[in-house]
Amino acid sequence: MIECPWCGSGWKDHPTTCENCGGPMPPRPGQDAGEPPPPTPRQVPKAFERKIRYTTNTLFIAGAILLGVGGLQGFIFTTIGATTGMGPFLWIGPGILLLLGGLGAFFVLAARRKAEGILRAFRDGRAVVGRIVDVYRDTSIKVNGRSPWGIVYSFSADGRTIEGKAQTWDVGAQGREAGRPVHVLYVAADPEQNTLWPPVR
């Protein structure tokens, strides 16, 4: 079974495009990079855009939690201070709000910048053929006892060799060998903003 990297739908056969979201599927295993990306501007499936912006963006999730907790705690402490006349609570509430809320806002803005860079690469990025440098189990991350796969790839942009990295939970990543060609999209103004095409899930 193969999974769509855009929406996560599973398919027994190997279609060229996902029948649910319309996103292009990764190439069959082998030494080929697969079909090149379409010309710009490329359409990005809505489910994938939500995933990049919110649902799998850990920086956004952490920032939203901090904003929520900071706002709630700030409100509770300020309300207690105002209703009981306890002066310290009037200072603690806004302090918590500023500290946690400010940190949360910083995380949300950083997550937004990162997501915009990835989506910009998908929509308007220059397409080049790069090569896989390494595929490894990223044991620095563990979720429920599992670690994702890290895929390091390199490509040339403006006469420089740039390295990028993608992470995936898909065990099929171990079938990608060093030296295999891959399609890479990068933002012309900032090649450090890059991604694989089609994406890894």
pTM of the predicted model as reported, rounded to 2 decimal places: 0.76
Containing 50, the helix (H) or strand (E) segment is helix 46-50
Domains of the chain, each with CATH number or no CATH? 1-11+42-124 (no CATH), 126-201 (2.40.50.140)
Give pLDDT < 70 ranges for the chain: 1, 29-31
Look at residue 177 in the predicted model and tell me its pLDDT: 82
Q: Which residues contact 129 (CB under 8 A, 6 or more apart)?
A: 33, 155, 181, 182, 183, 184
Distances in Å between the Cα of 120 and the Cα atoms of 70, 72, 130, 162, 190 are: 32, 34, 19, 18, 11
pLDDT in tens, 4-24: 888 878 877 778 788 888 888
